[in-house]
């Protein structure tokens, strides 16, 4: 079985500061990993995904994440936060032959202070 743990249910940063949202996974088989963002009263939008190619994955809106097998981590970063980045972020895992079913972490709410 797979699982995802997101460290920190709330993260607050100042505008222009580094954003770091932590995600650790557990999987007995090679995982596929995803970061989704949810803006208030909207559905989820894919930011980026790791599918066993390059370990450093670049996504939309300046976000990137690095797959580290030895640490079972897939942390999301952005060098400089913008006010529009305020949202809830979800890390998710799936595996081959699971039909694409996503197992989500509990989410991290990002606040950006002016």
Regarding 42 and contact with other proteins (CB under 8 A), the answer is yes
Is there a contact between 50 and 32 (Cβ–Cβ < 8 Å)?
yes
Is 49 among the residues that bind other proteins (CB under 8 A)?
Answer: yes
Instruction: Identify the CA nearest to 1 among candidates 95, 69, 82, 87.
Output: 95
**Which one of residues 24, 51, 72, 77 is an interface residue with other proteins (CB under 8 A)?**
51
The verdict on 95 binding other proteins (CB under 8 A) reads yes
Counting residues that bind other proteins (by CB under 8 A) gives 26
- CA-nearest of 98, 70, 75 to 24 is 75
Q: Is residue 97 a contact point for other proteins (CB under 8 A)? A: yes
């Amino acid at each position: 079985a797979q699982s995802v743990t997101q460290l920190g249910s709330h993260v607050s940063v100042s505008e222009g500061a580094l954003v770091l949202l932590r995600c650790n996974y557990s999987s007995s088989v090679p995982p596929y990993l995803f970061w989704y963002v949810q803006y208030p009263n909207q559905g989820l939008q894919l930011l980026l995904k790791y599918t066993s190619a390059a370990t450093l994955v670049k996504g939309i809106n300046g976000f990137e994440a690095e797959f580290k097998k030895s640490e079972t981590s897939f942390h999301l970063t952005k060098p400089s936060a913008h006010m529009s980045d305020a949202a809830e972020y979800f890390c998710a895992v799936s595996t081959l032959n699971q039909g694409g079913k996503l197992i989500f972490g509990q989410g991290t709410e990002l606040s950006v202070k002016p």
